Chains A and B, each alone.
Chain A
Amino acid sequence: MTNTHQRPLRILLAKLGMDTHTVGITIIAHALREAGMEVIFTGLKQTPEMVAAAAIQEDVDVVGISTLSAGHTRNLPKLARLLREAGAGDKLLLAGGVIPEEDRPLLEEAGVDRTFTMGSDTRDIVAYLNEWWAQQLAADA
């Protein structure tokens, strides 16, 4: 049955808090879909608790949070902690949007694996995810 194996990367995309800027996350969703990934979109005004619960139910490999109206230094560490506590700390956690350079060490310390700030090229995000996913599949094989 090995050659019937098809394992696309699954990624959950969400926005936390009262942030309703959807242009970026929508473009990312389409770019990832066109790169052959399964994108689970949960919508806006999510809490870290909701994102963690959805990520576990969906068994995604990656959680991507778009943040453009602050709150990320509070929300993202909380999400990382909730995922770890639920036994899902192995999921890759990405953040994108308006994230000041000086906040990045704090986020990385808290468990955010990578941030993509304003002006990031969707092709770079796809390439980064493809490379990460290839490593995961190789490690699993």
Chain B
Amino acid sequence: MDVAKELLKGTILAGARAIRWLDDGDPRGARSLAEIFPHTGKAHIIGITGPPGAGKSTLVNALISEQRRRGRRVGVIAIDPSSPFTGGAILGDRVRMGKHTLDPDVFIRSIGTRGQAGGLARSTHDACLILDAMGYDLVLVETVGVGQDEIDVVALAHTTVIVGVPGLGDEIQAVKAGLMEAGDLFVINKADRDGYEDTYRQFELMLHLRAESKALSSEHWSPPLLRAVAVKDEGIAEIVDAIDQHKAMLQHTGEFGLRSAQREREQALTLTCTEIMRSIRRNADPAILSAVEKREMDPYRASQLLIQNWQKDPDI
């Protein structure tokens, strides 16, 4: 099977294999990506993020249904944490999306973080490109449950949806500052629960303050605050309407292409940095590190020496 050629035709087996190669760091993945890359840049990448237990998977499930009603083909990347100790993971997001498994126009892929911080997996970007090349109109990227500043998804997505939920104690804890600054769209899920009004007011206040900040506001878009009960399909059409409006705004202002371009540029730099870091670690002089362990040399001095040594013989 010519994986790149087949996945461009939309063959699921081929797309699934390419994502696996890229996730595993198998060189065949990079070769396939080189072939499909010119055909990417069309799909609308939509990030779904929020604290653990906010109902992200259930919301994604409902969003898939609504997008399918509008006739769109949907790719989903659902990220769950890998164990930092064993590398193992239980990826359970599909449990909430079971009804879409047999829809040939929905492709769901679970990915473990494999040691990556920031709410995404290292291969998320690559998986988005594959789904894009396979012809999915949009890709929903569900992050791991995030805390305060794990907002890598913002750099990846055209549109970021922040999902909050009532009753996580101190309301402002539900969604912390980093997330409030990041979102293009805010959804309070489980809005039939006690504490909804309080949470709504807190979000409203934060968004009001954001609108007053020059650094955080935009003349083209003010982030809407929406309510949903994803498990009952309430509020879902309104969310997709707002996502569509955001996309229309991005296209109108030219920001859609700009964000995609920035993302690919950043990815090139990230890959470069990762390789250089690995090379430095691989080639670090054990004698220097041992001197630091014995407190004969301080870490700053050691760092200077390690860089100097590496520059003489980069081995990359």
The digit string for B94-123, where 1 denotes a CB below 8 A from any CB of A, is 110010011000011110101000000000
Q: Is there an interface contact between A86 and B13, defined as CB atoms closer than 8 Å?
A: yes
Instruction: Please state if A6 and B16 are interface contacts (CB–CB under 8 Å).
Output: no
List residues of chain B with CB under 8 Å of any chain A CB: 1, 12-13, 16-17, 19-20, 24-27, 30, 82-83, 86-92, 94-95, 98, 101-102, 107-110, 112, 114, 275, 278, 282
Contact residue among B16, B87, B94, B109 (Cβ-Cβ distance under 8 Å from A36): B87
Tell me which of A50-58, A64-72, A112-120 binds B: A50-58
Report the Cα distance A88→B13, complex, angstroms: 8
Interface residues on A, range: 20 to 34
The residues of A that contact B109 with a CB separation of less than 8 Å are 57-58
Please name the residue on chain B nearest to A2 by beta carbon: B27
Specify which of A5, A33, A57 is in contact with B26 (CB 8 Å cutoff). A5
- Bound-state CA distance A53–B12 (Å) is 9
Q: Is the CB of A40 within 8 A of B110?
A: yes
| Residue in B13, B98, B278 with the greatest tally of chain A CB atoms within 10 Å | B98
Q: When the two chains form their complex, are residues A8 and B94 in contact, meaning their CB atoms are under 8 A apart?
A: no
A-B contact pairs, 11 of them (CB 8 A): A5-B26, A6-B87, A6-B114, A8-B87, A33-B89, A38-B88, A39-B89, A41-B94, A43-B92, A49-B102, A58-B16
Q: Which residues of A contact B107 (CB under 8 A)?
A: 57
A42 at the interface (CB under 8 A from B): yes
Tell yes or no: A1 within 8 A of B by CB: yes
Residue A7, interface by CB 8 Å: yes
| Bound CA–CA A108/B265 (angstroms) | 51
Residues of chain B within 8 A of A10, CB atoms compared: 20
A3 to B283, CA, bound (A): 13
Closest to B98 in A: A43
A7-B24, A42-B95 known; A54-B278 Cβ under 8 A: no
Query: A42 to B91, alpha carbons, bound, how many Å?
Result: 9
| Nearest CB of A to B44, in Å | 20
Binding site for B on A (CB under 8 A): 1, 3-8, 10, 29-30, 32-43, 46, 49-50, 53-54, 56-59, 86-88
Are the C-beta atoms of A46 and B98 separated by less than 8 Å?
yes
Q: For A42, give its contact among B87, B89, B94 (CB under 8 Å).
A: B94
A33 touches B94 (CB 8 A): no
Q: A34-B88, A41-B90 are in contact. List 6 more A-B contacts (CB 8 A).
A: A7-B25, A40-B94, A43-B92, A54-B108, A57-B12, A86-B13
Q: Which residue, B30, B94, B95, B102, has most C-beta atoms of chain A within 10 A?
A: B94
Whether A53 pairs with B102 at a CB distance below 8 angstroms is: yes
CB distance from A39 to the nearest CB of B (A): 5
Instruction: Verify B20–A39 contact, CB threshold 8 A.
Output: no
Residue of B nearest to A8 (CB): B87
Which residues of B lie under 8 Å from residue A43 when comparing CB positions?
Answer: 92, 94-95, 98
> Contact: A33 with B101, CB < 8 Å?
no
Interfacial chain A residues near B114, Cβ < 8 Å: 6, 8
How distant is B78 from chain A, measured CB to nearest CB, in Å? 10
Contacts of A58 in B (CB 8 A): 16, 109-110
Contact between chains at A41 and B88 (CB < 8 Å): no
Q: Given A42-B95, A88-B13 in contact, is the A36-B101 Cβ separation under 8 Å?
A: no
A9 to chain B, nearest CB (A): 9
- The answer, among B112, B275, B278, for a CB contact under 8 Å with A38, is B112
Interchain nearest-CB distance for B283 vs A (Å): 12
Alpha-carbon separation in the docked complex, A39 to B89 (Å) = 6
Choose from A37, A59, A88 the contact partner of B20 (Cβ within 8 Å): A59
CA distance A34 to B85 in the complex (A): 9
Q: Which residues of B contact A30 (CB under 8 A)?
A: 90
Chain A residue with the shortest CB-CB distance to B78: A40
CA distance A54 to B98 in the complex (A): 9
Chain A residues in 8 Å Cβ range of B19 = 59
User: Which chain B residues border A53 with CB–CB below 8 Å?
Assistant: 101-102
A86 to B20, CA, bound (A): 18
B30 to chain A: which residues have CB within 8 Å? 1
> In the docked arrangement, what's the CA distance between A10 and B91, Å?
10
Cβ-defined contact, B91 with A39, below 8 A: yes
- Verify A56–B16 contact, CB threshold 8 A: yes
Per the bound structure, the CA–CA distance linking A140 and B265 in Å amounts to: 33
